[in-house]
Amino acid sequence: MSTNPFPLDKADLMKAYRTMRTIREFEERLHVEFAKGDIPGFVHLYAGEEACATGIMMHLTDVDRIASTHRGHGHCIAKGVDVHEMMAEIYGKATGACRGKGGSMHIADLAKGMMGANGILGAGAPLVCGAGLAAKFRGDGGVGITFFGDGASNQGMVLESMNLAAVWNLPVIFVVENNGYAESTSVDYATAVDSYVDRASGFGLPGVTVDGTDFFAVYEAAGEMIRRAREGGGPALLECKMVRFFGHFEGDAQTYKAKGENDYNREHRDCLKIFAARVREAGVVTADEFAAIDREVGALIEDAVASAKAAPLPSARDLTTDVYVAY
Amino acid sequence: MARKISMKQAINEALDLEMRRDPAVIVMGEDIVGGAGSPGEEDAWGGVLGVTKGLHAKYPGRLLDTPLSESAYIGAAIGAAACGMRPVAELMFLDFMGVCFDQILNQAAKFKYMFGGKAKTPVVIRAMVGAGFRAAAQHSQMLTPVFTHVPGLKVVCPSNAYDAKGLLIQAIRDDDPVIFCEHKNLYGHEADVPEEAYAIPFGEAAVVREGKDVTIVSYGLTVHRALEAAERLAKERIEAEVIDLRTLSPIDWDTVLESVETTGRLVVVDEANPRCSIATDVSAHVVQEAFGALKAAPQMVTAPHTPVPFSPVLEDLYIPTADAITAAVSKIAPRAMAA
């Protein structure tokens, strides 16, 4: 048995792999199921970006809160939202995480510290400032993490929130998931600075850019920022440069991408492959152990899809419930 | 013990009592401490019109001056509410909704429904509304209909100090997001207000004047205009019943319908612009639910379909006047009735 060169023990390495594999399997399966026409509405897949959500969420517990994006399935899974309830929600079923009233873009589980996927880009940044403020008042050591893409990085409310978090010294981390495309528009076109770290410094925040396909790079950078925030050191920005295997939404022909770009990314920039190879080659987790996780995850997603398909639809009565606590 | 205090003092007192009662209540907004970080912090403004004055000294750390970033701090108040706090955010002028509306419209209002009932967002957004302050088009609007339209929000607009205190206490204790509209021209208006805390339930209109001939429905500043009109009409032996809605969402349909069943005549007075307003909403509802009781077409007295003008001579024409209300009543209450 070789020594473990990683900052996580074997159990946590396997947990991280299981999380990333669950996200990947969930998204690959949705890609297939969506094409069959059974899933209503829009679905935005996180495949290729798993290392970012997982590398960050490995540092969090339920007391910590995150605000997600329209591309939120990965954040949900990594934050511990029930996969069966997520799948049922995406199918619009009464057993869904939001009883079929939210759908893919609004999956939330406040008990798990998941403040919602969000259809309004950048809207999570102010909300997480509130989560950080609440943690500060309670003194519970909680942190807030807001995820947003390179596209939403240009929203005024994100920029306002960076200043507010700095002014109030909030335990908040701004995570830019830079996958190179705002829907179809290139980050090089739409963002005037080369690095989001430059943006952060403009607001007085420390910032770090990491290779978002490298789980360990994300894990270590996020760990440092989260530790600092918990100790009262204030907000920070983490830019994860990553790749999006699928289009903006399912059904996107991705004509804006270079020829062969997706194939190249799957071959050379697959965060899951890179992680598994490193950990296997170091002799910490065996190929058989990874394969066993793959099988379990495969069965979990299979069961989640089957249950979601079989689950009851919301009833007409549900249309008008839950608008208010009391009215 | 009741004593006469202004609406401004009543609001301050409601905040004071609730902050004392519940440590989860925090207050944030631009200049609500006023002078934070400045040499004169201890003699702070307490808000642009002094509504929160004195609270900073009593509850240090629980009133937060904000940068001039409405999206960020209104959103932070909403986020903190979703995480168990009871924030009261002051938007200063409701007109500023334009720079933070997403957080109200798409976040606070929808969390409970969109998340399948699992979220609770007990946030209060206080803001000044209304014309008559010579503050022109961007600091004077009555935007109550915009918020009343949105499911998930509650909308409150008191007409006096007593109601302001009780309704604000209810708003802070309420588990849903509340838009609390304070008419800036009523801040100095005084009423008998008990010293202790009391909550006025939402969705309960007040019949502020009883009458059998015509029902005048209003809220906010124009309640006083309606009362003035009612006094004049009484001299013509027309007895107007005046209903102060107090809360626009939820709205007390029962009190309005019961009154119209008796009087058979309805005039709705609304300081908002006329289209898709509280006036059209109340009129349509009454026509649908009490058509048989109506002896004449409902009348609406509103601001014109224009922005709020600056020049005092124009602004005074903009706000519904007692004259306009009297004229509207006269139109449907024939002289014969007075004879």
**Sequence spans of domains, chain A:** 10-320
- Using the beta-carbon criterion (under 8 Å), do A327 and B82 form an inter-chain contact? no
Q: Are residues B223 and B185 in the same domain?
A: no
- Would residue B7 count as lying in a domain? yes
CATH number, domain containing residue B115? 3.40.50.970
Task: Tell me the mean pLDDT in the region B304-330.
Answer: 97
The pLDDT score that the predictor gives to residue B35 is: 79
**CA distance, residue A111 to nearest chain B CA (Å):** 9
Say whether A209 sits in a helix, a strand or coil.
Answer: strand
The H-or-E segment that residue A145 falls in is strand A144-149
Q: Are residues B46 and B188 in the same domain?
A: yes
The pLDDT score that the predictor gives to residue B40 is: 72
Residue from A114, A167, A319, A324 whose CB has the most chain B CBs within 10 Å, to mutate: A324
pLDDT band at A279 (very low <50, low <70, confident <90, very high): very high
Q: Which of B136, B168, B194 is the last residue of a domain?
A: B194
- Using the beta-carbon criterion (under 8 Å), do A134 and B85 form an inter-chain contact? yes
Q: What is the mean pLDDT of chain A?
A: 96
- Would residue B201 count as lying in a domain? no
Of B164, B193, B223, the residue nearest B8 (C-alpha): B164
B36 pLDDT higher than 80: no
Q: How many CB atoms lie within 10 A of CB A126?
A: 31
pLDDT, tens digit, 9 for 90 and up, residues B37-67: 787 766 678 998 999 999 999 999 999 999 9
Q: Are residues B46 and B189 in the same domain?
A: yes
Q: Which of B139, B183, B189, B224 is catalytic?
A: B139
Q: Are residues B219 and B155 in the same domain?
A: no
ipTM above 0.85, yes or no: yes
A177 pLDDT higher than 70: yes
The pLDDT score that the predictor gives to residue B1 is: 82
Q: Are residues B32 and B64 in the same domain?
A: yes
The pLDDT score that the predictor gives to residue A1 is: 52
Task: Tell me the mean pLDDT in the region B269-296.
Answer: 98
- Residue holding tokens 């689950």? A311
Task: Tell me the mean pLDDT in the region B251-271.
Answer: 98
B336 pLDDT higher than 70: no
Report the percentage of chain B scoring pLDDT > 90: 92
CATH number, domain containing residue B243? 3.40.50.920
A88 pLDDT higher than 60: yes
Of B136, B126, B128, the residue nearest B104 (C-alpha): B126
Q: What is the mean pLDDT of chain B?
A: 96
Of the CA atoms within 13 Å of residue A326, those in its CB half-sphere come to 9
- Can you read off the two tokens belonging to residue A223? 């760990």
- For residue A166, give every residue at least 6 positions away whose Cβ sits within 8 Å of its Cβ, in sequence order, or none: A203, A204, A205, A234, A235
Number of domains in chain B: 2
- Using the beta-carbon criterion (under 8 Å), do A106 and B115 form an inter-chain contact? yes
Residue A99: which region, alpha, beta or left (left: phi > 0; alpha: psi -120 to 50)? left
B265 pLDDT higher than 80: yes
Q: Are residues B143 and B277 in the same domain?
A: no
Task: Tell me the mean pLDDT in the region B23-31.
Answer: 96
Kindly list the residues from chain B whose CB atom is less than 8 angstroms away from the CB atom of residue A163: 67, 69, 72
CA–CA separation, A273 and B12 (whole Å): 60
Q: Are residues B92 and B232 in the same domain?
A: no
| A182 CB burial (10 A radius; 0-12, 13-18, 19+) | buried
Residue from B25, B64, B71, B123 whose CB has the most chain A CBs within 10 Å, to mutate: B71
- Using the beta-carbon criterion (under 8 Å), do A108 and B114 form an inter-chain contact? yes
- Would residue B114 count as lying in a domain? yes
The pLDDT score that the predictor gives to residue B75 is: 98
Say whether B241 sits in a helix, a strand or coil.
Answer: strand
Q: Does A163 touch chain B (CB under 8 A)?
A: yes
pLDDT, tens digit, 9 for 90 and up, residues A57-81: 999 999 999 999 999 999 999 999 9
Q: Are residues B188 and B241 in the same domain?
A: no
The pLDDT score that the predictor gives to residue B339 is: 45
Selected residue with higher pLDDT from B88 and B50: B88
The pLDDT score that the predictor gives to residue B44 is: 77
Q: Are residues B263 and B311 in the same domain?
A: yes
> Which residues 98-127 of chain A have a CB within 8 Å of chain B?
98-102, 106, 108-111, 115-116, 118-120, 123, 125-127
The H-or-E segment that residue A175 falls in is strand A172-178
Task: Tell me the mean pLDDT in the region B95-113.
Answer: 97
Q: Are residues B184 and B323 in the same domain?
A: no
A11 pLDDT higher than 90: yes
The reply to whether B56 belongs to the active site is: no
Kindly list the residues from chain B whose CB atom is less than 8 angstroms away from the CB atom of residue A119: 106
The H-or-E segment that residue A85 falls in is helix A83-90
Q: Which of B159, B194, B229 is the last residue of a domain?
A: B194
Q: Which of B172, B194, B216 is the last residue of a domain?
A: B194
The pLDDT score that the predictor gives to residue B42 is: 66
Residue from B27, B59, B83, B86 whose CB has the most chain A CBs within 10 Å, to mutate: B83
Q: Does A314 touch chain B (CB under 8 A)?
A: no
- Using the beta-carbon criterion (under 8 Å), do A126 and B81 form an inter-chain contact? no
Say whether B274 sits in a helix, a strand or coil.
Answer: coil
E strand map for chain B: 2-6, 25-29, 63-65, 86-93, 124-129, 154-156, 178-183, 190-194, 206-209, 214-218, 240-244, 247-249, 266-270, 299-302
The pLDDT score that the predictor gives to residue B257 is: 98
The CATH architecture one would assign to domain A10-320 is 3-Layer(aba) Sandwich (3.40)
Domain holding B157, by residue range, is 2-194
- Would residue B200 count as lying in a domain? no
- Would residue B199 count as lying in a domain? no
Kindly list the residues from chain A whose CB atom is less than 8 angstroms away from the CB atom of residue B103: 123, 126-127, 157
Q: Are residues B173 and B269 in the same domain?
A: no
pLDDT, tens digit, 9 for 90 and up, residues B155-211: 999 999 999 999 999 999 999 999 999 999 999 999 999 999 999 999 999 999 999
Q: Are residues B44 and B141 in the same domain?
A: yes
The pLDDT score that the predictor gives to residue B45 is: 87
A231 pLDDT higher than 90: yes
- Using the beta-carbon criterion (under 8 Å), do B152 and A135 form an inter-chain contact? no
